[in-house]
Structure 1
Amino acid sequence: MGPTGSGKSNFINQLTGRKENNSAHGLKSDTQGIREFTVNLSNNRLYVFVDTPGFDDTYRSDRDILHTIAEWLEKKYRNEVKLTGIIYTHRITDNRMSGSVCKNLDMFSRLCGDKAAERVRLVTTMWDKAKDKNLVESRVSQLETNFWKPLIDAGARHERFNNSSGSAWEIVRGLTGDGEAVLLQEELVDVERKLNETTAGKALYSQFQRLLHEQKETIKQLQEEAKAQKDPELVKQLEAEQRRLEAELQKTWDDMDKLKIPFFRRLALLFSKKPQSRKIELSLPGN
């Protein structure tokens, strides 16, 4: 898992020997749905690698992405298949934690939970593109002691991917053994919650609330700016942008409505059965 363009598909390509598709390099999603790749090694060990779309997908909403991932996880868990490892990719070349990166990391931590954290590898990618080694080392320190700290405290480990087959396999071979259910699987199957009632579903609802507030503020600013302008062409452009944002605002409303939990159901959940795993809270901007 990881943001669009962070190297998820390339990591799997190095494991499977597939030729790389460069379409994700422009930060457009290359992975539209869940993709499974099977590798049968000569030592009779079978690996199944799973590529997932990021929560900043070019063509699909975050709610659709969560539904796709949840559906796959639930199906595997009901068939008694557990994950032996969960890899989260992060570009070491990123000079800041953008809103998109924070959103993906937040959703990742909330669907994993603390019990599966020891099966998590936080993998930094694109080391071959890093020019200032001192700068990227300081980024690693910031990730490990700040943004990733709750995950690492729960048992997750940071690994460096050097864009080679050997590097990818070294990371994967450290993840063999018995699998572990993630929090989202326990919530959907063991305690029979609906997706919008899970920790990840609630987090997505909160993200939509923040987005709704930002969109309303932007539309208000555009309206004030359009009134102050005397150039008809500029006013026309501002009004077009306002209409585009209003359409996005309606879509956010629709997504929120589908995730909303009725009051009496929220009350019932307070006294319902709880999953064994606990959520991991990250210290991220906007949380």
Structure 2
Amino acid sequence: MDAWWTNNKDASVFHELIVDAHVCVTTAARSANPIHQQQVRRSLHRLRELIHRPNLSSISFYELTPGCAVIFLLGCTGCGKSLFISTLTGIPEDEAGVGHALQSRTHRFKAFQFSDSNRSFNSDTPVVLVDTPGFNNSDPKLTDESICKSISVWLHEMYKRDITLVGILYLHHATGTPVTAHFRPFVEVYGKSIYSRVSLVTTMQDETNISQPEDLDQLVREGARRFIYENTPESARELCQNVTSDIDVARAEHLKRVVSELTQGLSNPLEDRNANDVGLEGLADEHLELLRRIREESANDGAPTELLEQCKSVRCQMEDVLIQGGQAMSPLVERVKRCLRTY
């Protein structure tokens, strides 16, 4: 096998093939323990899982950049957040902080960056997963209120640094119900529209067949989506792909909020708003609407080139309006420019 690989390795380059791994399984003709096809298939299945699982690397909060997209992982103690990370990435359970008792093993916020978001989630944007301490925590210092305060600090700093919050995964058992108060920090920073980025993830369905609690309907009416997690790498990857598919829309919503702050700050409440302010807000609205249309049409036949070009044109118009406004040194203007550069 080694000789064949040495003689033929250039073929993969010629045919533009990417070889992640290769395996050769052999056994003696009269072996007392022959290798059966089922064993080989199991080994190949495991190999494919390892190849396609996204790789994580720890990252500090101060290493986050405006170009990345952040997913928050929430849930009560014992709901399986750390196990979700282990299943998604393949890192050992003890490294992910998995506990098998109803005591929290996660006592602080942990941020993980996926090393290859394009392969993992079909996204060119660096994706960061933030694991949080569980609510109803066994640690008396980690009350729900203190955890929410810490989340609020993260969110305010992310917002000021124009780091996009692309999604919130709230994990819960089939018998449990998410607490609305746990979403309060997100609503305070982003408004009620943030519920459209919430995924209510039911875990451990393999242990119970109890139906979803009716109390979830209120969150769904606010815009949250339900997802049944099947405790497999494929299911975890599908969930993250669903969340990251909204990256551009989440960025556009953030851009619109920053533009709104800018125009309100520049306007004199005793005077009519100038044309540049109105024009900039109108362009931000148009940009957001175009990206929503692109998302909808991409789900069917792929994003039309015409809409993509329109989006690019609108961003150029916004840059022109900023230049014409004569506020080049304003911090908010710089923030708008920074947001535009993330596309």
TM-score range normalised by the length of the shorter chain = 0.5 to 0.7
State the 1:159 CA deviation.
0.3
2:79 matched residue in structure 1: 6
Query: Given the alignment of the two structures, is residue 58 of structure 1 paired with residue 138 of structure 2, yes or no?
Result: yes
* Cα deviation digits, residues 266-287 of structure 1 (max 9, x gap): xxxxxxxxxxxxxxxxxxxxxx
Q: Is the 8 A contact 2:148 2:185 kept in 1?
A: no
Whole-angstrom distance in 2 between the partners of 1:119 and 1:23: 26
* Cα deviation digits, residues 173-209 of structure 1 (max 9, x gap): 1112233799xxx9xxx8xxxxxxxxxxxxxxxxxxx
Matches within 5 A, 1:243-254: none
Q: Which amino acid aligns with 2:180?
A: D
TM-score for both structures, normalised by structure 2: 0.44
Q: 2:183 aligns with which of 84, 97, 109?
A: 109
1:115 counterpart SS class: helix
Whole-angstrom distance in 2 between the partners of 1:167 and 1:127: 12
State the 1:163 CA deviation.
0.7
Q: 1:15 aligns with which of 69, 88, 113?
A: 88
Matches within 5 A, 1:160-179: 160-176=228-244, 177-178=247-248, 179=250
Query: Given the alignment of the two structures, is residue 69 of structure 1 paired with residue 151 of structure 2, yes or no?
Result: yes
Q: Is the 8 A contact 1:82 1:181 kept in 2?
A: no
State the 1:106 CA deviation.
2.4
Q: 1:120 aligns with which of 198, 206, 212?
A: 198
1:28 matched residue in structure 2: 103
1:268 matched residue in structure 2: none
Q: Which amino acid aligns with 2:114?
A: V
2:166 counterpart SS class: coil
State the 1:127 CA deviation.
1.6
1:80 counterpart SS class: coil
Whole-angstrom distance in 2 between the partners of 1:122 and 1:109: 12
State the 1:15 CA deviation.
2.3
Q: Which amino acid aligns with 2:179?
A: L
Q: Which amino acid aligns with 2:110?
A: R
1:201 matched residue in structure 2: none
Q: Is the 8 A contact 1:4 1:28 kept in 2?
A: yes
State the 1:23 CA deviation.
5.2
1:156 matched residue in structure 2: 224
Alignment RMSD, CA only? 2.5
State the 1:54 CA deviation.
2.1
2:128 matched residue in structure 1: 48
Q: Which amino acid aligns with 1:15?
A: L
State the 1:17 CA deviation.
2.1
Structure 2: segments with no counterpart, 5+ residues: 1-73, 262-343
Whole-angstrom distance in 2 between the partners of 1:154 and 1:65: 23
Q: Which amino acid aligns with 1:46?
A: P
Q: Quick one: structure 1 residues 64 and 125, their matched pair in 2 at CA, closer, same or farther if it must change by over 3 Å? A: same
Higher relative contact order structure (alpha carbons within 8 Å, sequence separation ≥ 6): 1
Q: Is the 8 A contact 2:149 2:185 kept in 1?
A: no
Whole-angstrom distance in 1 between the partners of 2:135 and 2:252: 21
1:82 matched residue in structure 2: 164
1:260 matched residue in structure 2: none
Q: Quick one: structure 1 residues 167 and 71, their matched pair in 2 at CA, closer, same or farther if it must change by over 3 Å? A: same
The number of residues matched between the two structures is: 166
Q: Quick one: structure 1 residues 180 and 158, their matched pair in 2 at CA, closer, same or farther if it must change by over 3 Å? A: farther
State the 1:64 CA deviation.
2.4
Q: Which amino acid aligns with 1:112?
A: F
Whole-angstrom distance in 1 between the partners of 2:98 and 2:227: 25
Q: Quick one: structure 1 residues 61 and 108, their matched pair in 2 at CA, closer, same or farther if it must change by over 3 Å? A: closer
Q: Quick one: structure 1 residues 109 and 69, their matched pair in 2 at CA, closer, same or farther if it must change by over 3 Å? A: closer
2:334 matched residue in structure 1: none
1:116 counterpart SS class: helix
Whole-angstrom distance in 1 between the partners of 2:129 and 2:90: 12
Matches within 5 A, 1:268-287: none
Q: Which amino acid aligns with 1:127?
A: Q
Q: Which amino acid aligns with 2:147?
A: I
